Amino acid sequence: MSADLSSVGRVVSTSRDDAGFRSLADQLRAWSDDRLARLLAARLDLTTPAPHDVGHLASRAAVRASISRALDTLTLLELSVLDALVVAGQTTAEDVRTIVHAEPAAVDAALDRLEDLALAWHAVAGLRPLTGVADAMGTGPGVSGLQPRSPEPPPADLVEQRVAELSPRARAMLEHVVSEGGEATTAGSRHTLLPEEASTPAEELLARRLLVPRGSGSRVHAPGEVGLALRGGRTTYDAVDAVPEVATAERGARLVDSAASGAAFEAVRHVELLLELWGTDPPGVLRSGGLGVRDLKAAATLLQVDEPVAALLVEVASAAGLLGSRADAEGDPVWVPTDAFDAWTDAPPAERWLRLVRAWLDMPRLPALVGSRDQSGKGLNPLVPELGSPWIVETRHDVLEALSRLPAGEVLAAGTGLPSLVDHVAWHRPRRPASRADHVAWTVREAGLLGVLGLDGAPAATRALLAGDDAVAVLAPLLPEPVDHVLVQADLTAVAPGPLEAGLARRLALVADVESRGGATTYRFSSSSVRRALDVGWSGAEVHAFLASVSRTPVPQPLTYLVDDAVRTYGTVRIGAAEAFLRADDETALSELLHHPRAGSLGLRRIAPTVLVSTVPVDVLLDRLRELGSAPVLEAADGTVQVVRPDALRARTPRERRPLGAAAASDTARVAQVVTAVRAGDRAATSRPSAASASSSGGPALTPSGALTALREAVETGTTVVIGYVDAHGTVADRMVDPLGVADGSLRAHDHRSDDERSFAVHRIRSVRVVEG
Amino acid sequence: MTDGPLIVQSDKTLLLEIDHDAADDCRKAIAPFAELERSPEHVHTYRLTPLGLWNARAAGHDAEQVVDTLLTFSRYPVPHALLVDVAETMARYGRLRLDKHPTHGLVLTTNDRPVLEEVLRAKKVQGMLGDRIDADTVAVHPSERGNLKQALLKIGWPAEDYAGYVDGEAHAIALDETEWQLRSYQREAAESFWHGGSGVVVLPCGAGKTLVGAAAMAHAQATTLILVTNTVSARQWKDELVRRTSLTEDEIGEYSGAVKEVRPVTIATYQVLTTRRKGAYPHLDLLNARDWGLIVYDEVHLLPAPIFRMTADLQARRRIGLTATLVREDGREGDVFSLIGPKRYDAPWKDIESQGYIAPADCVEVRVTLPDSDRLVYATAEPEERYRLAACTPQKVKVVRDLVDRHAGQPTLVIGQYIEQLDELAAKLDAPVIKGDTSVKERQRLFDAFRSGEIGLLVVSKVANFSIDLPSAEVAIQVSGSFGSRQEEAQRLGRLLRPKSEGKSAHFYTVVSRDTVDADFAQNRQRFLAEQGYAYRIVDAEELGGLSA
């Protein structure tokens, strides 16, 4: 940082402890690039579009929408400290430590964070909140409801003494006023009187200056110091640094891991099963873009799960890029697995799980709403755009992080666990919508279904995932290993005591019907299932050989018999496809033809003593037969019927969403770029006379953002400025004003000429000049 | 991943690999809550059902225990949804209970008010409940105790019945164990029942269910009503009780179509109780003829619907159900649970067999080929005629004769469905036949003669399916059955499963016609036995000669 920059605008160029900055912009200028980058990284909205210079940056930081976003990231403690700053006005850190009901160290940490976020800064008169913070906080969480302290408050003990002198009725009234926001109306009370003259509780309070009139009307308020006195010198009765404990029960790390990996395996298996089916039998895409109710029901039945679970799996599969849409043969859009699904299926189960879970974590959607109705009474289907919600992603992370902070094996207590978790999350992010309780409950439920939680506790794999470690390596040993054999039993079932190797599973599913799925798979043999294998060209001997090779135990006799029986009755009636057939009463003539050395290319086959068939089309066959001087007939070349398998459909993988790491890297790059730009802009600004002091009436017109920056600076510093204002007739007139706030394109300011508060349209302000002295 | 013997599937089946070292421990641990569905040679299949889980709750197991058991023995991670479902299902039991109230009589109470509210609004329980006594209690009409339990089970909130039982009229009954000993599982079964109050004991055919009933009576020490399937079975009960307990002939009455005696221990047939005359059940009074302290239901899986209705009114009396299987062809397992009681004892067939209490069986299916002329008749027959045509093919006679010859000297039963077929067989084989119109006296005589060895071959119709003890039978040849009833197959095999001298194994042949519905039905029936661990062999009639006897 160059010396000329750091000295700009600095009133007293010493350390910040004994002196402050004239404005937030000045403080930001004094910051190192690193610190500036930290601010921009924490408040990313300030980087888009990139501010011109530091003044502009400071001005943008004070915009209400941006403040609100920054407030959303604060904990209850930080909000309370900020509120204490608002109550205290300009003050010292020491003072804040006294009035916040929390450990001093915690308050210091909170102050540092607030300063890092530029929500508080060091003014000349002391530490102060950014203008606009009080408005943005409103009456939301962390707000004590106390009025700001008087500019020069009486000593605390004096206020306490006055409170102590009150009659019980007056005290009750004061407490009521303070708890209701510190403002009241006192119609009919005299405002200037001595304590002895007071005849009503209100007058008692007014006389002791515990209620102070505001302006000239009957409105009065209880200054901050009074509220503090009532609350024992603190802004709140309760400690604000006490994080609500999550109610837990001990279930043991092993059980938690095992339950979670069970769910993880199920989720992976279910997604695979469902998408495999949809590859050949895809459901249609609704006109609204979602999946139909009936298709969801069918999916739930197939997976033997409830519909909400099926909806979750469908949503997650879609978020993971495994499910997409394309047009089917008739041109109607259908939901089908993407080509990424094939690669996914080949990956080990733990990796497949990770892909699903990553997608779920960052999926800004609420699958739990499927089946409910929106405001217009329309039922919500899976995959419709209406399920989007920006908040849920952060809630998911908050919930999982809260549960990961618990010791391994600790889980949410039954009953009390969930509400306490909601409170816990609420402390960390108090400014969240009211639906948070639902969101937390959904998150816990969905996490349980996906194996991100087990028995409502965080398993090792999830902890690894959140810590950025290799979750796959943690999870993989817990998942069933593929097996290469089955147990065949006399009741014509085969049990695969684990997930089968993919090829084996496919072949077995051909010969037998799947009866029950899970960690193991039960297959049942029946004559129709065996026939299915024969249909695709297996021979009886092949079926026997296959069974003997996969069965770890001897194949039971009834099964052998079943296969033989199926083979015996199979093909009693035969159907063959032939391009042409040949009949001849002269069997010898046919035999001759069949064994003719040049008839090999005709694919001749004898199906009865007097019948031959050929695979060659009639016209070709005729010519050839003529050449050979004879005639032919046939079944399909191998004697079996070929089944036509439907093609498995695939859609294109949607364009890969930026992986988390890449997004973070690009954010970092952007922040660095903005810092450089801001610094450059700043150097440019300081090389010409400052906007606030140099532009005079009639001088060059300010850019709108330049005017805003200058005005915000004036608001921050409380300086009086002269603005060149274009009135309704187009005349430029100088107005001396005390700016009070800038919002919605207008300046709110105390106008010296009319001695009243007035609004000025910012776009009509041509110049801003600081009144010297 | 652990190396457990159990694989938990998401469709709520549990697969137990029985060759595993820990399989035995696992079986004991899951038996209380999972129902054994099939037990073929390598992998046994258990199923988690609401009834099974509620049975476990009734026996004092909680959801956490069940979940921990599954997680402990499971080889693979357990599906999350299943664990949630187990916990939720089990939590439904015990929310409601039936109690005795000092002033209001029978009351339904809850520890979860919304459940009671839900129940009060349910259509199914309308009219069974009386006044609301307080927020958590509602009066129940005493006559609706059974119906209410049935209805509550149907809407998924089974009630625990703590309203107790009447003691009944006391009557001294003791087991007379001078020449024999109650087997350990019989003793356990009777004790489990007694501690549970009411319920069902599941034991395979030939495992001595009668003695479990007798042991239960010895616990009750009260007058007892025993309901059995038919008269022959009633006589056998009587003989067995006289032989094995302190009861004398005079203390035991028979209440059947022929005799109507009401004594301290009365044995009645289902048939006489369900006889209707002019739209009324004239013999229903028997149920209240005495102050019964115990009611024994033999062959619960056959309990006819009217008896269910009557049982609904008997909820204040202790009830024990005896059966070889809880599978009911009519699917009324839930009624058995709510009206007679939860399952109190269960042991897989194979276990008892390996303990040597029932005979191992060698099951063979023999397939005959219909002659071409019959195939044409069969192909063009009406669907309802087809089974009879296929089952009664004359081809079977020759096979049956071959089989009888092969086992000459061994007591043999030929079992069939169609009377003409049986008559023909009896004529060709020169053997006596027992069918529906055979008098009870004649039946008794023939059975006695068979038991004593005077007759070596007997042709019987389905009247012999149940509860007739023919312990000496070593070979059974089944020529036709009632459309593939699995339960019938179990019963018929049961005829053979009484322990044999010198540990010989029994032979069970089924003769079926190839490529017809007969074979399809046979497959259905054989599946049941294969699932019980009895491997079937299938041979062609032509190859019968090569079969080792």
* CA dist., res. B119 & res. B125, Å (int): 7
When CB atoms are compared, the residue of B41, B81, B83 closest to A305 is B81
**Cα B359 to Cα B534: distance, rounded to the nearest angstrom:** 12
Across the range B450-454, mean pLDDT stands at: 83
What confidence score (pLDDT) does residue A321 get?
Answer: 92
In sequence order, what E strands does B316-386 have? Answer: 318-323, 343-346, 361-368
Does residue A123 contact residue A91 with C-beta atoms inside 8 Å? no
* Out of A645-649, A665-669, B368-372, least confident range: A645-649
Q: Which two tokens stand for residue B31?
A: 């038996």
Q: Count CB atoms within 10 A of the CB of residue B6.
A: 30
B256 vs B59: which has the higher pLDDT: B256
How far is Cα A282 from Cα A275, in angstroms, rounded to an integer?
9
pLDDT of residue B359: 63
From the list A449, A520, A558, the residue facing B80 with the nearest CB is A449
Which tens digit of pLDDT belongs to each residue from B201-216? 888 766 788 889 999 9
Nearest to A265 by CA among B26, B75, B20: B75
Regarding predicted confidence, which is higher, A180 or A19?
A180
Who's near A623: CB < 8 A, 6+ residues apart? none
Instruction: Please tell me the distance from the alpha carbon of residue A521 to that of residue A499, in angstroms, as a whole number.
Output: 7
Average pLDDT along chain A: 81
Q: Whole-prediction pTM value?
A: 0.63
- What superfamily would CATH give domain B184-353? P-loop containing nucleotide triphosphate hydrolases (3.40.50.300)
- Average pLDDT of the residues in A457-485: 87
Query: What pLDDT is stored for residue B538 in this prediction?
Result: 85
CA dist A133 and A84 (Å) reads: 12
- A516 contacts in B (CB within 8 Å)? 9, 11, 13
Query: For residue B404, what are its two tokens?
Result: 């009888």
Cβ separation A558–B7 shorter than 8 A: no
pLDDT (mean) for A16-35: 79
Q: What is the pLDDT of residue A637?
A: 47
Contact (CB, 8 A) for A176 and A168: no
Contact criterion met (CB < 8 Å) for B7 and A520: yes
Flag if A259 and B515 touch (Cβ within 8 Å). no
Give the integer Cα–Cα distance in Å for B509 and B541: 12
C-beta atoms of B80 and A492 within 8 A: no
> Quick one: pLDDT at residue B464?
64
Alpha helices (runs of H) in B59-122, residue ranges in sequence order: 63-73, 80-92, 113-121
What single letter denotes the amino acid at residue A158? L
- In this structure, the strands spanning B457-460 and B433-434 are parallel
Q: What residues of chain A lie within 8 A of the CB of B77, using their CB?
A: 258-265, 451, 478-480, 519
User: B250 touching A, CB under 8 A?
Assistant: no
Residue from A319, A248, A313, A296 nearest A446 by CA = A313
Show the tokens assigned to B204: 């395979």
A260 vs B contacts (CB less than 8 Å): 77, 80
CB contact under 8 A, B83 and A495: no
Using CB atoms, pick whichever of A258, A498, A517 lies closest to residue B78. Answer: A258
Peptide bond into B5 cis (omega under 30): no
What pLDDT score was predicted for residue A702?
Answer: 61
Query: Which residue, among A489, A550, A562, A569, would best test binding to B if mutated, counting the most B CBs under 10 Å from its CB?
Result: A489
In sequence order, what DSSP letters do the residues of A683-747 get, joined into one string? HHHHHS--HHHH--TTSSPPPHHHHHHHHHHHHHHT--EEEEEE-TTS-EEEEEEEEEEEETTEE
Which of B43, B71, B538 is the closest to A259 by Cβ?
Answer: B71
Instruction: Quote the ipTM score.
Output: 0.74
- Give me the residues of A, 484-523, that contact B with CB < 8 A: 487, 489-493, 495, 497-498, 516-520, 522
How far away is chain B from the Cα of A505, in angstroms, using its nearest Cα? 17
Task: Work out the average pLDDT over A158-163.
Answer: 83
CB B281 within 8 A of CB B296: no
Q: How far is CA A542 from CA A420, A547, A635, in A?
A: 61, 9, 21
Of residues B304, B293, B338, B346, the one with CA closest to residue B322: B346
Nearest chain A Cα distance for residue B512, angstroms: 14
pLDDT score recorded for residue A9: 39
Q: What CA–CA distance (Å, rounded) separates A578 from A603?
A: 10
Structure tokens at A16: 């910040």
For the stretch B264-274, pLDDT in tens is 999 998 888 88
The residue-averaged pLDDT of B110-129 equals 84
Domain boundaries, chain A: 156-230, 248-476, 487-567, 580-628, 688-770
Across B461-471, average pLDDT: 66
Please give the pLDDT value at position A317.
94
Min Cα distance B471 → chain A (Å) is 27
Distance CA B123, CA A11 (A): 83
B43 vs A contacts (CB less than 8 Å): 487, 489, 493, 495, 497
Interatomic CA distance for residues B513 and B395, integer angstroms: 9
Find out whether A118 and A209 touch, Cβ atoms under 8 Å.
no
Pairwise CA distance, residues B296 & B286, whole Å: 14
Taking the Cβ of residue B88 and every Cβ of chain A, the question of whether any pair is shorter than 8 Å is answered with no
- Mutation target vs B (from A491, A527, A553; most B CBs, 10 A cutoff): A491
In chain B, how long is the greatest CA-to-CA distance? 78
| Chain B nearest C-alpha distance from A382 (Å) | 20
Q: Which residues of A53-78 are buried (b: 16+ CB within 10 A; e: fewer)?
A: bbbbbbbbbbbeebbbbbbeebbbbb
Closest Cα in chain B to A257: B77
Q: Has residue B497 got a pLDDT over 80?
A: no
Tokens of A182: 């510190």
Q: β-strand B35-38 against B43-47: which pairing, if any? A: antiparallel
Q: What is the pLDDT of residues A347-406, one digit of tens each?
A: 888 899 999 999 999 999 988 888 888 778 888 888 888 888 877 888 899 899 999 998
Which residues, 6 or more positions from A109, have their beta carbon under 8 angstroms from its beta carbon?
none
Nearest by CB to B11, from A260, A304, A490: name it.
Answer: A304
Q: Is the pLDDT of residue B106 over 90?
A: no
pLDDT of residue A353: 93
Question: In this complex, do B78 and A558 lie within 8 Å of one another by their Cβ atoms?
Answer: no
Distance of CA B215 to the CA centre of its chain: 18
Nearest by CB to residue A557, choosing from B68, B76, B538, is: B538
**Residue B290 above 70 pLDDT?**
yes
* Window B:8-67, CB contacts with A under 8 Å: 8-11, 13, 15, 17, 38, 40-43, 45
- Give dist(CA A498, CA A337) in Å, integer: 25
pLDDT at residue A630, rounded to an integer: 57
Number of H helices, E strands in chain A: 32, 21
**Is residue A649 pLDDT above 70, yes or no?**
yes
Q: Is the pLDDT at A601 greater than 60, yes or no?
A: yes
Contacts of A553 in chain B (CB under 8 A): 41-42
Q: Which two tokens stand for residue B487?
A: 């339960």
Q: Which of B37, B42, B44 to mutate to test the interface with A (most CBs of A within 10 A)?
A: B42
Which single residue is written with the structure tokens 């999830």? A462
Inform me whether the C-beta atom of residue B440 falls under 8 Å from chain A C-beta atoms. Answer: no
B249 burial level (CB within 10 Å; 0-12, 13-18, 19+): exposed
- Across the interface, whether the CB atoms of B10 and A522 are under 8 A apart is answered no
Interface A–B counts its CB contacts (< 8 A) at: 138
What is the C-alpha to C-alpha distance for residues B334 and A370, in angstroms, rounded to an integer?
34
Q: Which residue from B446, B406, B445 is spatially nearest to B426, judged by alpha carbons?
A: B446
CA distance A441 to chain B (A): 15
Q: Is the pLDDT confidence value at A10 over 70? A: no
Name which of B2, B8, B10 to mutate to probe chain A: the one with the most chain A Cβ atoms within 10 A of its Cβ.
Answer: B10
Encode pLDDT of A569-589 as tens digits.
Answer: 887 677 777 777 777 777 887
> What is the mean pLDDT of the segment spanning A699-715?
71
Q: Which pLDDT band holds residue B498 (cuts at 50, 70, 90)?
A: low
| CA distance to A625, B29, B210, per residue, from B320 (Å) | 85, 24, 11
Residues A300-354: tens digit of each pLDDT: 988 878 889 999 999 999 999 999 988 888 888 999 999 899 889 888 888 999 9
Mean pLDDT of A696-700: 43
Report the residue from A260, A518, A558 with minimal CB separation from B11.
A518
Q: Does B76 contact A255 at a Cβ distance shorter than 8 Å? A: no
Q: What is the pLDDT of residue A320?
A: 92
pLDDT band at A673 (very low <50, low <70, confident <90, very high): confident
State whether B2 and A258 contact (CB < 8 Å).
yes
d(CA A274, CA B131): 52
Q: What is the CATH number of domain B359-546?
A: 3.40.50.300
Q: How far apart are CA A466 and CA A660, in angstroms?
A: 12
- d(CA B272, CA B284) in angstroms, rounded, equals 9
Return the CATH class of domain A688-770.
mainly beta
pLDDT attached to residue A361: 92
pLDDT in tens, A412-432: 887 788 888 888 888 888 887
pLDDT at A463: 92
Structure confidence by residue, pLDDT tens digits, A521-544: 889 998 888 888 888 888 888 899
- Check pLDDT > 60 for residue B150: yes
* Close Cβ partners of B96 (under 8 Å, ≥ 6 residues apart): B108, B109, B110, B115, B116, B119, B152, B157, B158, B159, B160
How many helices (H) and strands (E) chain B has is answered by 21, 23
The whole-number pLDDT of residue A464 equals 92
Banded pLDDT at A634 (limits 50, 70, 90): very low
3-state DSSP: chain B helix, strand, coil percent, rounded to 5?
40, 20, 35
What is the pLDDT, as a whole number, of residue B94? 82
Query: Which A positions 548-587 lie with beta carbon below 8 A of chain B?
Result: 553, 556-558, 561, 569
**B316/B436 Cα distance (integer angstroms):** 36
- Whether A718 and A738 have beta carbons less than 8 Å apart is answered as yes
Q: Which pair of structure tokens corresponds to residue A32? A: 């190192």
Burial class (CB in 10 A: 0-12, 13-18, 19+), A444: buried
Inter-chain touch A266–B71, beta carbons under 8 Å: no
**Chain B interface includes A528 (CB < 8 A):** no
Instruction: Tell me which residues of chain A, numbers 243 to 302, contact chain B at a CB-CB cutoff of 8 Å.
Output: 255, 258-266
